[in-house]
Amino acid sequence: MERKEISGRLVNVKERSIYNARLIINERGVIESIVACDEAPEVFILPGFVDSHVHIESSMLIPERFAETAVKHGTVAVVADPHEVANVAGVEGVKFMIDNAKRSKLKIYFGAPSCVPASPIDECFTPFSSKEVAHLLDLPEVKLLAEMMNFPGVINDADGVTSILNEAKKRGVPVDGHAPGLTGESLKKYVQAGISTDHECFSLAEAKEKIELGMKVLIREGSAAKNFDSLHPIIGYNPKMAMFCTDDCHPDELVNGHINKHVKKALSLGYDLFDVLQVSTLNPVEHYGLNVGLLQPGDPADFIIVDNLRDLNVLSTYINGVEVVNDQNQKIPLKEPEYVFPCSYDFSKIGITFKSGERVKVIEAIDGELITLKSSVEAKSNGVDLENDILKIAVISRYNGNNVAAGLIKGFGIKRGAIAASIAHDSHHIIAIGINDESLKKVIDFIVKNRGGIVYCDGSEMFGLALPFYGLMANVSANEAAYAYSQINEKLKTAGCRLKAPFMTMAFMSLSVIPHLKITPAGLFDVDAFSLTSLYE
């Protein structure tokens, strides 16, 4: 790489100053010096944005394809938790993510998944013990222990959880948290175990309590969980203890923005520029010890150039001194991984009929939230009641097609056909919601035939996107994935669905660690009691 000089209005987040400057970048992509000058172009040079917690798999794109779009929005680094692929493919799945990330210019740092499976009730390809976690933590690309979702195990000193936390302590790496609604003495014990962040806060009061105990709060604005509006006051309250993240971001949203959307939204609300940039750049770099530049001499030349400090239109993104948007480097062909996907399943367990006159429990989905409510209805024989928005939900084990469960769900509003996906956090079973068994079988068969995907069938016509990389991702551009995903969602709207992100919402209906009522291949799961529960009251 040749030496280069770049001039503009430099935004120094550490010094909280803005001045005309010229960057001198050496052949190794490092900022050799910063020279103040009298005149400079009317553009602004500022540190690149960092996503402090993201599951790249949720973009439905392999890492290198995710990176192509993220850098266009001024993102120079992400802290990725490969939890999803770890569940379906174990250590080898994580290594695929790491290896594929190296094909991109984006700085992708990984966490070692701590909860595989997410809870004792869940299934996975192979459970992670401290042995698997230790192996991953010793890889140079792995910088932290990823979200510790098993907070009951932490609080109750479960042996397996304690041994995994000890592997992080031995290496002195940060430990990410996942503790929705946890407060009081239980929260104190969780924090005392060495867990330093949380991205699951639903309220400002919860966020402040966690901050006061020393945790950094990640302000999340993803595709299903959107907590920015509730949590943004912590930017002013204690900007040193906040970071931005997307957590789960579907392709239709990724093409329109990434962490830059958080930044612009915060600035539009009147927050101090340097507080907002501290949250979006400095804090994640320092907390996780990332090799990401912050526009200081000796730093890697990681920065963005924007037209102004209001709209933040990204003109250029530099990583290690290289302008990375529209990277034209020749890509080496990528082979799809070989892995087992269920090719048969017991449909009879989906086609259950309900006992006449008895009350059946119902999962109630909430738009924009991962939590659910629980209620009950006097079910009809097939369970479905379109007038009252009661649909059938089915889950088929990815790991054993004979493990199948069905129940009832409210909140999706679908009047025709069914939807299905091989994305169902965190075990990623096949999950489907529909108005009748015939439609459910059509969409489930699409998923099996394509070795994964998302799909909507309106009763006759099929609209889908195949995801052959572990049933989670595709090797297509973000624009291609976004178009297919948007088309499916538009068709769903015409069928009455009123959720902003129906597939993302559906994906969390089987996650047994987020309250209150969920469904697994073993049956309905009461998260509050942390046990399976009957369909009937």
Q: Which residues pair with 365 in a beta bridge?
A: 372
> H helices within 71-203, ranges in order?
83-101, 130-137, 151-155, 159-171, 184-192
Strands 49-54 and 75-80: parallel
Q: Which residues contact 113 (CB under 8 A, 6 or more apart)?
A: 81, 82, 83, 86, 87, 94, 128, 133, 136, 146
> H helices within 383-515, ranges in order?
437-449, 478-494, 502-507
Q: What is the pLDDT of residues 345-392, one digit of tens each?
A: 888 888 778 777 789 999 999 987 888 999 999 988 888 999 999 999
Mean of pLDDT values over 525-529: 92
Residue 293: pLDDT over 60: yes
Long-range contact pairs involving 358-362 (C-beta distance under 8 Å, separation at least 24): 358/536, 358/537, 359/536, 359/537, 360/407, 360/408, 360/535, 360/536, 360/537, 361/407, 361/408, 361/517, 361/524, 361/533, 361/534, 361/535, 361/536, 361/537, 362/390, 362/407, 362/408, 362/409, 362/410
Interhelix angle 63-70/83-101, rounded to 10 degrees, is 70
Residue 329: pLDDT over 60: no
Residue 19: pLDDT over 90: yes
Mean of pLDDT values over 400-423: 95
322 membership: H or E segment, kind and range: strand 322-323
Band (pLDDT 50/70/90 cuts) for residue 46 is very high
Mean of pLDDT values over 389-406: 93
Nearest CA among 147, 249, 266, 165 for reference residue 485: 249
Mean pLDDT of the chain: 94
What DSSP state is assigned to residue 350? T
CA pair distance 64, 324, nearest whole angstrom = 12
Q: Which residues pair with 20 in a beta bridge?
A: 9
pLDDT at 225: 74
Mean of pLDDT values over 49-78: 97
Query: Which residue's entry shows tokens 């900022």?
Result: 31
> What is the residue type of 355?
K
More confident residue, 515 or 335: 515
pLDDT at 346: 82
Q: What is the pLDDT of residues 206-230, one digit of tens each?
A: 999 999 999 999 999 987 678 999 9
Band (pLDDT 50/70/90 cuts) for residue 70 is very high
First to last CA, the chain: 68
Mean of pLDDT values over 320-329: 81
Encoding tokens for residue 265?
């939204």
pLDDT at 348: 83
pLDDT at 153: 92
Domain topology for 48-292: TIM Barrel (3.20.20)
Residue 328: pLDDT over 60: no
Q: What is the pLDDT of residues 419-466, one digit of tens each?
A: 999 999 889 999 999 999 999 999 999 999 999 999 999 988 999 999
Q: Which residues pair with 262 in a beta bridge?
A: none
Domain ranges within the chain, ordered by starting residue: 48-292, 347-532
Residue 498: pLDDT over 90: no
Encoding tokens for residue 354?
């309900």
Mean of pLDDT values over 294-323: 97
Nearest CA among 479, 477, 500 for reference residue 489: 500
